[in-house]
């Protein structure tokens, strides 16, 4: 018997309890390559569909939507250099009085809640890459010793089902990552809309505060004049009391307006993420003027169907479920399938020789009780649930778009009516009333009544302007965003007491 490399001559003696190792047994050693070849083939197939991490963490799709819908930049701040660049950009925007576009841009760069959403997108990408990788094989070593022999068993385990379904699972992971990108893009649009709403509310509250400050100053002058006339006998006590109470009521209205203005400014500050010295940013003194014409949007429903992020997200979820449903159908009868590549070495302590065995072990579950119907039924119901939710979302989107456009057109008409009709007429009435009071044709009560009505008209005009700009934000959200968010909100703090007709006096 020729010597075989790696085997001792004692292995071929007839007294050995183990079978002699000969050249005729060589094919058995090649069986061990079967699992290795299977694992190598599976690894190659898996690597062909493997995803890799993108340079921007999946922000490209989010940035594209922000550029298309908002014409703004979004940045996921992940390095000190990016943080420094963002800081310089914010300082540049804060160097001048803040407008609506600048407020939105700062919010998109500086809102930490939005940055947390960008981190969530990175987590979603990591899950997508992980789902596209083939499963790691397991390797175990078992050593058993007894009074006669020592047995060492090496086992390589691969989940064949995971390898076979890897391409389908990778596509599902890609669909879910696309859905995550759309969800984050929806967060971007919501933050932008909320920042723009907060800006217009803060500006309207500031304009009202300034108007009431001027009104209180004028009322204070009139009250002081009435007191001097009372001491000289030129004004009776009743008229003096009317002047004083008008000034007192306006003062309380101004205090409420200042509180509201401070609260709205803080809400804007929170949304755009400012703190420290940056909170001293400057705002314009009043709301922007109305556009001469309202934007026409006759196909508002079709615009919403094409551009709404929540509809695109629902469609992406359905696409992922379709793939998942097909995968469930394909694997309904096989819950687990593993191939074990086994290599075993046995050593006889008494004789001192080794015998190496190798082969394949296949294990799978027998569908004795569960034939996969549970998984299929669950997948079918999940899919139909997503379809019904998409239909409900589309119906709601159409309604929201119609309502938002109607509110936009109506609020523009109302604000324009105040500018063209109400305020000019109020100015004429105020001037004529003052002339008649100076000519002693009317008493101070008529003058104060007209002043209350003029203040009420001015505050309502400010509210109408604010409602128009908020309606424009809501229309954009209903067409491109998800339709959520605040409406016009409560009217700014008006001089309710001073705006009364004075019937109680």
pLDDT tens digits along 243-290: 899 999 999 999 999 999 999 999 999 999 999 999 999 999 999 999
Which has more confidence, 414 or 137? 414
How many Cα neighbours within 13 Å face the side chain of 239?
20
The chain-wide mean pLDDT, for the chain, equals 79
Is 143 among the domain residues? yes
The span from the CA of 322 to the CA of 312, in Å, is 15
Is 504 among the domain residues? no
Please give the average per-residue pLDDT across 351-377, as a whole number: 62
pLDDT value at position 89?
96
Nearest to 226 by CA among 239, 208, 210: 239
pLDDT value at position 119?
92
Is 4 among the domain residues? no
31 falls in which pLDDT band (50, 70, 90)? very low
pLDDT value at position 226?
83
Share of the chain above pLDDT 90, in %: 42
**Residues near 47 by Cβ (< 8 Å), separated by ≥ 6?**
134
pLDDT value at position 52?
78
pLDDT value at position 447?
87
Domain range for 491 is: 9-499
pLDDT value at position 497?
45
SS3 readout for 147-198: CCEEEEEEEEEEEHHHHHCHHHHHHHHHHHHHHHHHHHHHHHHHHHHHHHHH
Is 465 among the domain residues? yes
pLDDT value at position 94?
96
Which has more confidence, 240 or 369? 240
The span from the CA of 179 to the CA of 185, in Å, is 10
SS3 readout for 315-352: HHHHHHHHHHHHHHHHCCCCCCEEEEEEEEEEEECCCC
pLDDT value at position 57?
79
How many structural domains are present in the chain?
1
Which has more confidence, 56 or 487? 56
pLDDT value at position 417?
96
**Residues near 48 by Cβ (< 8 Å), separated by ≥ 6?**
none
Edge-to-edge, what's the strand order for the sheet holding 354-364?
Answer: 138-145, 149-159, 337-348, 354-364
* Structure tokens, 303: 């615009």
343 falls in which pLDDT band (50, 70, 90)? low
420 falls in which pLDDT band (50, 70, 90)? very high
Which has more confidence, 95 or 320? 95
C-alpha distances out from residue 338 to 50, 335, 363, 371, 423, Å: 21, 10, 6, 19, 82
Q: Is pLDDT at 93 greater than 60 in this prediction?
A: yes
pLDDT value at position 358?
62
Give strand pairing partners of 144. Answer: 151
Please give the average per-residue pLDDT across 421-429, as a whole number: 95
Is 505 among the domain residues? no
Burial (CB count <10 Å: 0-12, 13-18, 19+), residue 490: exposed
SS3 (DSSP) at 481: coil
147 falls in which pLDDT band (50, 70, 90)? low
Residues in the chain, total: 505
Q: At what angle do helices 166-232 and 444-480 cross, to 10 degrees?
A: 170
Residue with tokens 């500031």: 206
Please give the average per-residue pLDDT across 45-60, as a whole number: 69
Is 2 among the domain residues? no
Q: Is pLDDT at 501 greater than 90 in this prediction?
A: no
* Structure tokens, 13: 């003696």
Q: Is pLDDT at 67 greater than 70 in this prediction?
A: yes
Going through 92-148 in order, the beta strands assigned E by DSSP cover: 138-145
Is 3 among the domain residues? no
Q: Is pLDDT at 45 greater than 60 in this prediction?
A: no
pLDDT value at position 228?
86
Please give the average per-residue pLDDT across 220-238, as a whole number: 85
pLDDT value at position 26?
39
- CATH code of the domain containing 179: 1.20.1600.10
C-alpha distances out from residue 11 to 116, 154, 393, Å: 67, 22, 77
Q: Is pLDDT at 116 greater than 60 in this prediction?
A: yes
Is 410 among the domain residues? yes
pLDDT value at position 297?
82
φ, ψ (nearest 5 deg) of residue 49: -105, 10
Nearest to 432 by CA among 419, 442, 420, 418: 442
Angle at 166 between CA 46 and CA 184, to 5 degrees: 105
pLDDT value at position 163?
72
Nearest to 76 by CA among 55, 92, 93: 55
């Amino acid at each position: 018997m020729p010597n075989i490399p790696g085997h001792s001559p004692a292995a071929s003696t007839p007294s050995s309890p183990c079978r002699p190792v000969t050249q005729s047994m060589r094919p058995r050693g090649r069986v061990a390559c079967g699992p290795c070849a299977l694992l190598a083939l599976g690894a190659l197939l898996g690597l062909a569909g493997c995803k890799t991490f993108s340079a921007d963490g999946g922000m490209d799709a989010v940035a594209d939507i922000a550029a298309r819908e908002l014409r703004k930049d979004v940045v996921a701040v992940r390095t000190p250099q990016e943080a420094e660049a963002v800081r310089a950009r914010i300082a540049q925007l804060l160097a001048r009085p803040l407008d609506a576009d600048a407020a939105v841009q700062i919010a998109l760069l500086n809102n930490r809640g939005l940055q947390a959403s960008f981190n969530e997108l990175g987590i979603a990408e990591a899950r997508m890459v992980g789902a596209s990788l083939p499963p790691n094989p397991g390797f175990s070593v078992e050593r058993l010793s007894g009074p006669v022999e020592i047995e060492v068993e090496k086992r390589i385990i691969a989940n064949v089902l995971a390898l076979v379904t890897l391409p389908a699972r990778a596509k599902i992971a890609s669909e879910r990552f696309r859905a995550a990108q759309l969800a984050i893009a929806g967060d971007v649009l919501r933050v932008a809309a909320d920042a723009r709403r907060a800006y217009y509310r803060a500006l309207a509250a500031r304009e009202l505060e300034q108007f009431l400050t001027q009104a209180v100053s004028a009322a204070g002058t009139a009250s002081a004049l009435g007191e001097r006339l009372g001491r000289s006998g030129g004004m009776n006590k009743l008229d003096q009391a009317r002047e004083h109470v008008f000034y007192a009521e306006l003062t309380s209205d101004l205090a409420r307006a200042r509180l509201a203005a401070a609260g709205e400014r803080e809400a804007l500050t929170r949304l755009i993420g400012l703190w420290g010295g940056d909170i001293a940013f400057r705002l314009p003194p009043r709301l922007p003027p109305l556009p001469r014409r309202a934007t026409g949007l006759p196909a508002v429903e079709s615009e919403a169907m094409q551009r709404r992020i929540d509809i695109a997200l629902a469609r992406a979820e359905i696409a992922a479920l379709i793939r998942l449903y097909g995968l469930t159908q394909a694997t309904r009868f096989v819950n687990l399938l593993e191939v074990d590549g086994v290599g075993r070495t046995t050593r006889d302590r008494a004789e001192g020789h080794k015998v190496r065995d190798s082969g394949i072990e296949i294990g799978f579950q027998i569908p004795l009780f569960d034939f996969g119907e549970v998984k299929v039924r669950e997948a079918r119901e999940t899919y139909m649930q997503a379809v019904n939710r998409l239909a409900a979302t589309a119906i709601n989107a159409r309604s929201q778009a119609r309502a938002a456009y109607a509110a936009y057109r109506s609020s523009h008409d109302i604000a324009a009516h105040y500018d063209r009709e109400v305020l000019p007429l109020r100015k004429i009435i105020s001037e004529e009333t003052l002339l008649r009071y100076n000519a002693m044709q009317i008493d101070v009560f008529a003058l104060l009544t007209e002043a209350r009505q003029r203040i009420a008209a001015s505050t309502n005009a400010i509210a109408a302007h604010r409602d128009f700009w908020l309606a424009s934000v809501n229309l954009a959200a209903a067409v491109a965003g998800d339709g959520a968010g605040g409406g016009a909100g409560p009217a700014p703090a008006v001089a309710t007491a001073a705006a009364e007709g004075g019937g109680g006096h």
